[in-house]
A = this chain, B = another copy of it.
Amino acid sequence: MTKVLVVDDDLTVRDVVRRYLELAGHEVALADNGEDALAWAAEHKPDLVVLDLMLPGIDGLEVCRRLRQTSAVPVVMLTALGEEENRIAGLQLGADDYVTKPFSPRELALRVSSVLRRAGTVPAFEELVDGDLRLDATARRATRGHVALSLTTREFDLLAFFLAHPGEAFTREQLLEKVWGWDFGDQSTVTVHVRRLREKIETTPAKPTRIATVWGVGYRYDRA
């Protein structure tokens, strides 16, 4: 498991980012200021740091500079619009990528994965396989036998989660939390996505053999 340190003074940002990174399989630590971030990083050696540019006390640029004095840890910068000059400075200081606020958390998670891959922290290929079903997490590509499945982002995430937890029953609420990252919401969202996914991976969608309905509970993925 890769350790990612997220540094931002905004609680909401921290929380959203944390959730998405965890969803992507990272272990996440949080800090709301530069001092704590540096202290934590010195002790725990994170695999990557997500760093807000604007911070109370020591600002992001300075944090980045100091991080680089002692390690080569990859850094992804969060910059607000109109901080162009700083962003350029950040890149020169060795930030490996940057994301502009307001940003989509999913995009951030993607960039983080991409940087980790480039840095060689994470293997280039991560596969989930069950029977003739094959899911390449890195390329975000799915195949059944030799046929490519055109799954949407959500469908891919959902199937990936199922493949990672075969034989375990989950409620819609749990799936909503684990896959969508929502704490509340319409559970029929799950129902419909399961249906769409079945449409694509089941031989007979009306009589599913892979994604089983657990009546009164939710769904369960059964290995072939």
Residues of A within 8 A of B (CB): 11, 15, 30, 81, 84, 87-88, 92, 100, 106-107, 110-111, 114, 125, 136, 138-141, 152-153, 167-169, 171, 173-174, 183-184, 214-217, 220
- Select from chain B the residue with minimum beta-carbon distance to A137: B169
* The residue from B88, B152, B168, B171 contacting A139, defined by CB atoms under 8 A apart: B168
Tell which of A30, A136, A215 has the most Cβ of chain B within 10 Å.
Answer: A215
The answer to whether B107 and A140 have CB atoms under 8 Å apart is no
The answer to whether A153 and B220 have CB atoms under 8 Å apart is no
The answer to whether A125 and B217 have CB atoms under 8 Å apart is no
Contact partners of A88 in chain B: CB under 8 A: 11, 15
Contact partners of A110 in chain B: CB under 8 A: 169, 171, 174, 217
Of the A-B pairs whose beta carbons lie under 8 Å apart in the complex, a sample of 29, sorted by A's number, is: A11-B88, A15-B88, A30-B92, A81-B184, A106-B216, A106-B217, A107-B171, A107-B173, A110-B169, A110-B217, A111-B174, A114-B168, A125-B167, A138-B167, A138-B168, A138-B169, A139-B167, A139-B168, A139-B220, A140-B169, A140-B214, A140-B217, A140-B220, A141-B167, A141-B169, A141-B220, A152-B215, A152-B216, A153-B215
- Shortest C-beta distance, A200 to chain B (Å), equals 14
- Shortest C-beta distance, A181 to chain B (Å), equals 13
- Shortest C-beta distance, A75 to chain B (Å), equals 17
Q: How far apart are the CA atoms of A110 and B139 in the complex, in Å?
A: 32
* The residue from B100, B136, B184, B216 contacting A100, defined by CB atoms under 8 A apart: B184
Contact partners of A174 in chain B: CB under 8 A: 107, 110-111, 114
Q: How far apart are the CA atoms of A167 and B184 in the complex, in Å?
A: 36
Q: How far apart are the CA atoms of A52 and B173 in the complex, in Å?
A: 19
Contact partners of A220 in chain B: CB under 8 A: 139-141
